[in-house]
Amino acid sequence: MLIGILKEIKVAENRVSMTPAGVEAMALHKHDVLVEKNAGAGSGFTDEAYQKAGARLVETAEEIYARADMVMHVKEPQPSEYALIRENQIIFTYLHLAADKKLTQALIKTRSVNIAYETIQKADRSLPLLIPMSEIAGRMAVQEGAKYLEMPQGGRGILLGGVPGVVPGVVLILGGGIVGINAAKIACGLGARVYLLDTNLDRLRYLSEVMPSNCFTVMANLANLRALLKEADLVIGAVLIPGAKAPKLITRSMLKDIKAGTVLVDVAIDQGGCFETSRPTTHTQPTFEVDGIIHYCVANMPGAVPKTSTIALTNATLPYALAIAEKGWQAACRESHEIGLGVNVVQGQITCKGVADAFGMPYVPIDSLLN
């Protein structure tokens, strides 16, 4: 198959959809790869590295869209690209269509085959192409929290790990899923006292087994949250209720019980946020203050570490890209239900129920389109 790797054009997006190592694996599987010039620059990969890996460089996105059987992106196609997409061309990227009617309609019109990273789902319901970004956001949450706890940044002036003779800081993590466990791992490594809250008792049992002794698992309920908030130096919001907005676990009135200069990092901001006082921020101005409490609410945290994010993302996407390229999208979907769940819009029809429901449009099960 002829695979095209585009340069990202969405504002402040420095990731790229495939590393030179991934391109080399594609070439070893006898696929031809076109890479747009400078595609890897933001992630630290030179054009020469892609050429060495077996790719051919092309000057423009137009050329990639005109020639490639499968086009890979990180972010969704931008309006300037809609007219370039061809019938039956495979577009493999993050799409988030349920939040974007314009893009959905544009993809329907092109009659292309659109496979979304975020809806590929394994039998255990995990989302393998979202997990790497949650891992990064969880680990970053502690790093960012620690930074904004420093007094010159407006924080309480606390070193999370403490030092001999001085008690460590207290980190409260709401939600013990992928973000939560990754945040806890880093906070524990720093030496902080970590409380990890979740509503799922089985998950708490697991966390209690695997986490070090400075991590305490706690059932998430209002009484426990109220008590622990009084002690916290850093609070990380990492809850997720699939398909729903995040619950507001900390209300504005609860802020008065939190110590001044405490940092709240709301990782769940991309689902509306789990603190009532949260609003989305950007990497240029990541924080704001409400009632003396620092809020960090960046909706695309992995964007700040593109060199790590690109490699983590392509580690996860490569096996799927290879399967689709090897078999073609129809056979890949027939043989793998998880890839089938990734297909959102095919040849003018919506094949993802969530997207169809979001816009009150007809839903066509993918199985009915596989011959």
Q: Which residue's CB comes closest to ligand NAD?
A: 177
Look at residue 219 and give its three-state secondary structure.
Answer: strand
Whichever of 174 and 346 has its CB closer to ligand NAD, that residue is 174
Q: Which two tokens stand for residue 163?
A: 């030092």
- Under the binding rule (CB under 6 A), the answer on residue 23 touching ligand NAD is no
Range 286-315, binding ligand NAD (CB under 6 A): 299-302
Of 1-9, 161-169, 266-274, 352-360, the window that binds ligand NAD (rule: CB under 6 A) is: 266-274
- The nearest distance, CB 271 to ligand NAD, in angstroms, is 4
Residue window 89-118: x/- pattern of binding to ligand NAD, with contact defined by CB under 6 A: ------------------------------
- Under the binding rule (CB under 6 A), the answer on residue 268 touching ligand NAD is yes
Residue window 156-175: x/- pattern of binding to ligand NAD, with contact defined by CB under 6 A: ------------------xx
Residue 285, exposed/middle/buried by CB under 10 A (0-12, 13-18, 19+)? exposed
Q: Catalytic: which of 32, 47, 96, 100?
A: 96
What does DSSP assign to residue 101?
H
Torsion on CA atoms 79, 85, 91, 93, rounded to nearest 10: -20
| Selected binder of ligand NAD within 149, 173, 240, 339 (CB under 6 A) | 240
- Under the binding rule (CB under 6 A), the answer on residue 267 touching ligand NAD is yes
Range 121-140, binding ligand NAD (CB under 6 A): 133-134, 137
Alpha helices in the chain (DSSP H): 20-28, 47-52, 61-67, 79-82, 101-110, 131-148, 178-190, 201-210, 222-229, 306-327, 329-335, 337-340, 353-359
**Could you give the CA distance from residue 287 to residue 196 in angstroms, rounded to a whole number?**
23
**Could you give the CA distance from residue 131 to residue 118 in angstroms, rounded to a whole number?**
9
Look at residue 357 and give its three-state secondary structure.
Answer: helix
Handedness of CA 342, 281, 269, 308 (dihedral sign): positive
Yes or no: say if 243 and 271 are a contact pair by the CB < 8 Å rule.
Answer: no
Whichever of 163 and 223 has its CB closer to ligand NAD, that residue is 223
Residue 49, exposed/middle/buried by CB under 10 A (0-12, 13-18, 19+)? middle
Identify the residue whose tokens are 């590393």.
19
Query: Is 96 marked active-site?
Result: yes
| Selected binder of ligand NAD within 5, 33, 61, 220 (CB under 6 A) | 220
Q: Up-side HSE of residue 322: CA atoms within 13 Å toward CB? A: 15
Indicate left, alpha or beta for 266 from its phi (over 0: left) and psi (-120 to 50: alpha).
beta
- The nearest distance, CB 319 to ligand NAD, in angstroms, is 20
Q: Catalytic: which of 270, 291, 337, 357?
A: 270
Of 65-73, 163-171, 193-201, 363-371, the window that binds ligand NAD (rule: CB under 6 A) is: 193-201
- Under the binding rule (CB under 6 A), the answer on residue 177 touching ligand NAD is yes
- Under the binding rule (CB under 6 A), the answer on residue 238 touching ligand NAD is yes
**Could you give the CA distance from residue 17 to residue 30 in angstroms, rounded to a whole number?**
19
- The nearest distance, CB 298 to ligand NAD, in angstroms, is 6
- Under the binding rule (CB under 6 A), the answer on residue 54 touching ligand NAD is no
Query: Is 100 marked active-site?
Result: no
- Under the binding rule (CB under 6 A), the answer on residue 239 touching ligand NAD is yes
- Under the binding rule (CB under 6 A), the answer on residue 176 touching ligand NAD is yes
Catalytic residues: 96, 270
Binding site for ligand NAD (CB under 6 A): 133-134, 137, 174-180, 197-200, 203, 220, 238-241, 246-247, 249, 267-271, 299-302
